[in-house]
Amino acid sequence: MPATVVVGTQWGDEGKGKVTDLIARDMSMVVRYQGGHNAGHTLVVDGESFALQLVPSGVLYEHVTPVIGNGVVVDPFVLLEEVATLESKGVDCSRLKVSGNAHLILPYHQELDMLTERYLGKNKLGTTKRGIGPTYADKATRVGIRVQDLLDEKIFREKLEAVLGDKNTVLTRVYNRLPTDPAELADRVLTEVVPRLAPYVSDTVGLVHDALDGDREVLFEGAQATFLDLDHGTYPFVTSSNPVAGGACTGAGVGPRHIQRVVGIAKAYITRVGAGPFPTELHDEDGDTLVDRGHEFGTNTGRRRRPGWFDAVMMRQAVRLNSLSEVAITKLDILDTFDSLKVCVAYDVGGERHEHLPYHQSDLHAAKPIYEELPGWRTDLTSARSRSDLPPEAVDYLGFLEEQIRAPVSLVGVGPGRDQFVDFGS
């Protein structure tokens, strides 16, 4: 059975949680393939809000096996706490599977993340300081510790001892901090984490392929987004993994031939957290309206997101980078109060028109948006449930986006609730 990927197409916070949840209904397995607990999905079910950081969205469906793939970095303390919170709300997490090849975020990663950001001062990257970058760095330099290492106490202690030799030199000599005692940390992890985590640890590659071979639907769930991708985003203001659809292959252990459907998720406008180039950024009242109406503050960090008009140039690039087969537009209802709406259709870089993202980032910094203006609908969309419930201006806005990004719009979000969406494709 061919698999589906859902991927954020902007700078994150597109509402992937809700769309993934909708698509997950028809799946038998949902697999996270990259990132860590910096993802922060929010789902609203029957008025109750669920904040998922590591556990895949499908956990709320009893027929779905939620899988944390090898490409994810796992803070075991955070994962176990999330599981405990979900279970306290009556969500059964016993089906959860965690790849033995996923890398562990341990307390020293978080400490180093914090210290490095502080040390960088005004040049800081704006990381979420959860140790995700340092853990991926350890993975690349081959000093990482994997989930499977927890199941072999001798190996775990040895690896921790070896890596902390190095980390402690940096912690004490560069940052003037206390060292981490490897034996103490090992004891803590082996008592607090291992007995609770061990039942979830699995050969997730085998499970994913068993599902595919058995003709069961598998969904690969991306965290963060296309323009935060380590290779294709606005480097260095990016995450340390590959959220693009191709990341599902390495991060879950499947070849590209298994992936047939790629759903890109975009807000009806755009936001960005932290530093980095942002051609359609708004510093005016319209921007404030987007932030206020859209509650554009980080789920995990509470930081105000930078707002802007929809950028079709970036979306065209996202269509290319992910081979998007369709696009889900979220938060269309946030635009309900505007008299008119702007969509960036091209960039002006030094007097030259660019229909596609300029490859050189200096050009992206210099890019001036070329807008087309469309009439707003000034109607409350939150109770729209089908295409025919949408006012003509909203249908035209979505049609214009389809034409600009050259991909069909399938789903449209009109509110935070699970049922607040319009099937635009039908």
Q: How far apart, in whole angstroms, are the C-alpha atoms of residue 31 and residue 251?
A: 9
Choose, by CB under 6 A, the member of 331, 345, 357, 374 that binds ligand GDP.
331
Contact with ligand GDP (CB under 6 A): which of 40, 71, 76, 222? 40
37, 41, 109, 258: which one is catalytic?
41
Rounded to whole angstroms, the Cα distance separating 415 from 340 reads 20
Q: Which residues pair with 263 in a beta bridge?
A: 6, 326
From 8, 69, 76, 251, residue interacting with ligand GDP (rule: CB under 6 A): 8
* Number of CB atoms found within 10 A of residue 418's CB: 16
Interface of this chain with ligand GDP, residues 123 to 182, rule: CB under 6 A: none
Residue by residue, DSSP assigns 281-302 as: B--SHHHHHHHHHTT-B-TTT-
> What is the SS3 assignment for 56?
coil
Q: Does 41 bind ligand GDP (CB under 6 A)?
A: yes
Regarding 334 and contact with ligand GDP (CB under 6 A), the answer is yes
* Catalytic choice (13, 113, 138, 311): 13
Sequence-ordered list of residues with C-beta below 8 angstroms from that of 122, at least 6 positions apart, any chain: none
415 binds ligand GDP (CB under 6 A): yes
Alpha-carbon distance 86 to 53, whole Å? 11
Is 13 an annotated catalytic residue? yes
From candidates 1, 42, 277, 370, binder to ligand GDP by CB under 6 A: 42
**Residue number, 5 or 112, with CB nearest to ligand GDP:** 5
Binding positions for ligand GDP, 193-232, rule CB under 6 A: none
Cα 265 to Cα 4: distance, rounded to the nearest angstrom: 13
| Contacting residue, 96, 242, 333, 364, with ligand GDP by CB under 6 A | 333
416 binds ligand GDP per the rule CB under 6 A: yes
For residues 313 and 348, the answer to whether their CB atoms sit within 8 Å is: no
Cα separation, 210 vs 207, in Å, equals 5
339 is annotated as an active-site residue: no
Q: How far is the CB of 149 from ligand GDP (least distance, A)?
A: 30
State the nearest-atom distance from the C-beta of 75 to ligand GDP, in Å.
18
| Interacting span for ligand GDP (CB under 6 A) from 35-43, 95-103, 123-131, 141-149 | 35-43
Bond prior to 236 in cis (omega within 30° of 0): yes
User: Which parts of 266-305 interact with ligand GDP (CB under 6 A)?
Assistant: 299
Handedness of CA 229, 232, 233, 235 (dihedral sign): positive
Site of interaction with ligand GDP (CB under 6 A)? 8, 12-18, 40-42, 44, 299, 330-331, 333-334, 413-416
Please identify every residue annotated as catalytic.
13, 41
